[in-house]
Amino acid sequence: MKLCIIFPPLPFGWTPVAPPSLEYLAALTRRADPDIEIELISASADPEAIDRLECDLAAISILTPTAVPGYRIAEKLRTRGIKVVFGNMHASAMPEEAKTYGDAVVIGEAESVWPQVLRDFRSGALKPYYYGEQIPLDDLPTPLYGMLKGGRKHQFRIVNTSRGCPYNCTFCSVKPFYGPKIRFRPIDHVVRDVAAVPGKMYINGDENIWWTGKVQRAIDLFSALRGSGKRWMGFGSLRPVLEPEGLRMLKAARECGLLSLWVGWESISDEGLREFSASGKIGVDRERAVKTLRDNGIDVSLFYMLGSRHDSIDDFRRSIDVADRLRVSMHPSLVVPYPGTKLREQYEPYIYKELGWEYYTGAYALFEHPDPAMTPEIREEKFYESSLELLSLSRVLRHMVNVPMAGFPHAHILSLMSQIPVRSGMKIAFEKWKAEKKSVNEKRFIK
């Protein structure tokens, strides 16, 4: 038996980060049945791979922006007699939809059900749906790093140390998928996985590398990783930075190789934070938290959303002012009401129903706005105007100069390596938008 594990192409091209579901699901498969032959395909890195693959079963991991290309891949494979099973966040939020394109759907986390999926396939009794449980994370295998081959090389691998999120941000798919309880992996297992990562740099792929009220756990993890000899970047919230033990936590993070933190700024305005129920995650003084991170030698990139039903045109320009004031890189997206989220429920009456999942990339206006001046086209124009300015070559180079010297030269190189692909992807998105905007506007107003 041969299994092919596939991550569909991303909307705007290749990135240097390997899709983590590929090598991790390969490890789950190897543990469940060592006799299964496995092939991994990252379609952004190797677009022609789908046409030449041969297998008995294909596992396709889909997020909302990759759902449509994932479905197209499935249709192509099924015409060749290959069975298809879908998984990941979009399949879990829309299982009936996914089932119409495949033979089975894994809903939720895979660990508790993946061995059964493989046994059922072997016996010819594949079920339509498998319901994964949120189990303890004390026995996860190390991903089969290095197994992903072919096409452009991914330079970065992702290591996860926890799952779950206690915050109530309305836009986020993490809590619906992983649950409200934070489940931590044993620290020695994380150290083992970091040691297995090829190269000298990795990404902590957790929703949050440190949690409010759990600062000591973060310190313990960072202390255990101090001897890894590897540098890393991760995603973190701002509130724990200003807790009493925050400075000790930042020191431990730097000593174990943290170079850059990607932070959810979420909204430019405080009103937007309240609308998204994100204030608890952000804390009371987010600008001071960012300055504290930089003062402790950690580079910061802020991710935020524009064009919500409470945002104004002025917010697009204000985001550039924030980047200049805080000396950070800023990466905007337009608001996306993902399926399965509270925001989707709130925005349901206003969503343009004719826009399919292929438009859920953060580059399209997906819903009506109460301000007549905030038309869909104006929101998109302002998004690209601000995004392309923030990602101009002069700003990318200026930010590299502003990266804290404590991380020199690795953090400075990393700044370029992370921003240049984003800049390239944004330019691709802009050209695509210009070519499609007339037809997209027509779809919005179909009754």
Alpha carbon dihedral 413, 424, 329, 177, in 10-degree steps, equals: -100
* The domain defined by 2-131 carries CATH number 3.40.50.2300: yes
Q: What angle do CA 92, 93, 98 make, to 5 degrees?
A: 70
Residue 447 has pLDDT above 70, yes or no: no
What percentage of the chain has pLDDT greater than the value 70? 100
pLDDT in tens, 33-71: 999 999 999 999 999 999 999 999 999 999 999 999 999
Question: Coil, strand, or helix at residue 125?
Answer: coil
pLDDT in tens, 195-222: 999 989 999 999 999 998 999 999 999 9
Query: Does an H or E element contain 183, and which?
Result: strand 183-184
Domain boundaries, the chain: 2-131, 158-433
pTM of the model: 0.94
Residue 421: pLDDT band (50, 70, 90) is: confident
What percentage of the chain has pLDDT greater than the value 90? 83
215-224 vs 246-255: helix crossing angle, rounded to 10 = 20
- Which ranges constitute the DSSP H helices of 14-131? 20-32, 49-52, 67-78, 89-93, 95-99, 114-122
Q: What is the pLDDT of residue 16?
A: 87
Architecture of the domain defined by 158-433: Alpha-Beta Horseshoe (3.80)
Rounded Cα distance, 56 and 83, in Å = 7
How many CB atoms are closer than 10 A to CB 274?
Answer: 12
Burial 313-350 (b: 16+ CB within 10 A, else e): eebbeebbebbeebbbbbbbbbbbbbbbbbbbebbeee
pLDDT in tens, 321-349: 999 999 999 999 999 999 999 999 999 99
Residue 408: pLDDT band (50, 70, 90) is: confident
pLDDT in tens, 97-146: 999 999 999 999 999 999 999 999 999 999 999 999 999 999 999 999 98
The sign of the torsion formed by the CA atoms of 385, 388, 394, 398 equals positive
The sign of the torsion formed by the CA atoms of 294, 320, 397, 332 equals positive
Q: Is the backbone peptide bond immediately before 65 cis, with ω within 30 degrees of 0?
A: no
Q: What is the pLDDT of residue 250?
A: 97
When the pLDDT of each residue in the chain is averaged and rounded to a whole number, the result is 94
How many CB atoms are closer than 10 A to CB 370?
Answer: 8
179: left (phi over 0), alpha (psi -120 to 50) or beta: left
